[in-house]
Structures are given as structure tokens and as C-alpha cells.
Amino acid sequence: MKTAPAFLEPVLSRRLGDQVYVRLIEAIATNRLAEGSKIQEDELAAQLGVSKTPIRGALRRLEAEGFIVADSHRTPEVRRLLRSDVVELYDLREYLERLAIRRVAERHDVSMLRALELLQAQTEKKFSGGRSIAIEESVVYNQQFHRLVLDGAGNTRLRRVYDLISVDVRRLAYRSIRGAGKQRAAVEQHRGILEAAKTGDTDAAETLIIQHIRRGRDDVLAQFDAAVERHPDAAARDT
């Protein structure tokens, strides 16, 4: 049985429930609390240096948001993403990011494009000479690029909607760009998207970001399908 690993630092200041929530949601987003992990209140309280009261408050919040579910014994565990969740998340990402990149290309905000170029150049340097980097670092670069695109759209409501799915998007990024080949491919695709935006080619930028998102979706879905082939009973969870 999976249990929560000892990676959480003690909480020291006020608003303990909020801080516990932030620590846990970050652990879920980065897969340090993996899907299906059992969450033991005693363990968390000891790791974080708090009583069970803020732990329970944070868990109730996470359950209300759909990140935590209770198993048959009422033990909280990190909710597993289903195949249908993946399809829905990538569909929504596509709608939001295709609009965002069109706005970036149309607005042609020099400072925003410069920020994207700087990040892209830093990322390309990391992969120069055939080098590879840790999956955690690759996910950080990947998420920074997409967040800059969303910020560059200049639409606060669009960004607010995206924030609702950002945790699950990060969780899936660990699957979609796992392996040096996929990481480099993602960086190359980012370069194409950026160049189209810099030239103001809205149609090309939109097409490229759609292709980019769909490649990630297809990679993740292929992993789901392969897992079902190995363990047919897993398909029953996708209901």
C-alpha cells in the first residue's frame, strides 16, 4: 500500500490549514503524492509539525476540489485521473491556449515576446550538445512557457479558468514529456510556436500550439491504453 513519503517540511506560521493545503496541492501537482497514495493524518501531522485539525481542514478542501477521495475504508487517497479526465483536460487546454497564442501574436507585446525568447533560449541551452535534464526541471520549463503564453494574452478571466485545471495539467506533464526525446521534441515545438507569434502569424501559431497539445494528449492516452492492456481490470475504473 502506498503511503505519503516523508518530504514535507514543518509548518511554522499562522493560517495552518491554508499552508497545509498549499503543501499538499504542490505535492499532488508534482506527483510526490502519487495517484492512489493513501494519506495518513498521523504521518502528515508529524511531518508538518501541526495537529490533526488543520490536516483535516486541508483534506476536506482537497476532497471538495476533487483531488482526494475516500477508499472503501474511508481512508483518504489521491484521486486517480481517468482516461476521460485526460480527454476533458486536454480539450479545455486546447481551447484556452489556442485563444491565448492568437492574442499573443496579435498584440505583439515586445516585453512579453522577449520574456518568452529568454526562457526558450535558456531551455535550449539546457539541451544543447545532446544533454538531458531531470524530468522535474523539464516540467518546470514547460509550464513556464505555457504560463507566459497565457499571461501574454492579456485576459485575466482566461488565466483564471486555466488556473482551475493547472494542478492536473502539471500532473499530466510528468507523463507527456517523460524521456529525453519527448523533452527535446517539446522544446522544439515551443520554438516553432514562438517564432510564429513573433512574426504575427496568428494562424500558424494557433495551428502549432494545437498540434503540440494534441501530441501530449496522444502520448498520455497511449500510456493509459497500454496500462489497460496489461491490466484489463483497470478499465473498470474509467466510469
Mean pLDDT of 2-12: 62
Per-domain boundaries in the chain: 16-78, 83-233
pLDDT value for 167: 95
Q: How far is CA 192 from CA 73, 125, 143, 160, 210, in A?
A: 50, 16, 17, 26, 12
Threshold 0.75, pTM exceeds? yes
- The confidence band for 1, taking pLDDT boundaries of 50, 70 and 90, is low
pLDDT value for 17: 83
CATH architecture, domain 16-78: Orthogonal Bundle (1.10)
CA 219 to chain centre: 15
Mean pLDDT of 230-235: 65
Q: What does the alpha-carbon distance between residue 55 and residue 193 come to, in Å, rounded to a whole number?
A: 42
The 10 Å Cβ neighbour count of residue 164 is 11
**Which residue is it, cell 526562457?**
119
pLDDT value for 239: 42
Q: What does the alpha-carbon distance between residue 58 and residue 24 come to, in Å, rounded to a whole number?
A: 8
Q: Which residues, in sequence order, are CB contacts of 9 under 8 Å at separation 6+?
A: 23, 47, 48
Confidence check: pLDDT of 185 > 50: yes
Share of the chain above pLDDT 70, in %: 91
CATH T-level topology, domain 83-233: Four Helix Bundle (Hemerythrin (Met), subunit A) (1.20.120)
Q: Contact at 8 Å (CB) between 117 and 190?
A: no
Cross-strand pairs, 3: 38
The DSSP result for 187-235, as a single string, is HHHHHHHHHHHHTT-HHHHHHHHHHHHHHHHHHHHHHHHHHHHH-GGGG
> Model confidence over 38-94: pLDDT tens digits?
999 999 999 988 989 999 999 999 999 999 998 777 889 999 999 999 999 999 999
User: Which among 129, 166, 135 has a CA at the least distance from the CA of 150?
Assistant: 166
Mean pLDDT of 205-229: 94
* Grid cell digits, residue 151: 499571461
Q: What does the alpha-carbon distance between residue 83 and residue 209 come to, in Å, rounded to a whole number?
A: 22
Which of 57-66, 120-129, 175-184 is predicted with the least confidence, judged by mean pLDDT?
A: 175-184
Confidence check: pLDDT of 143 > 90: yes
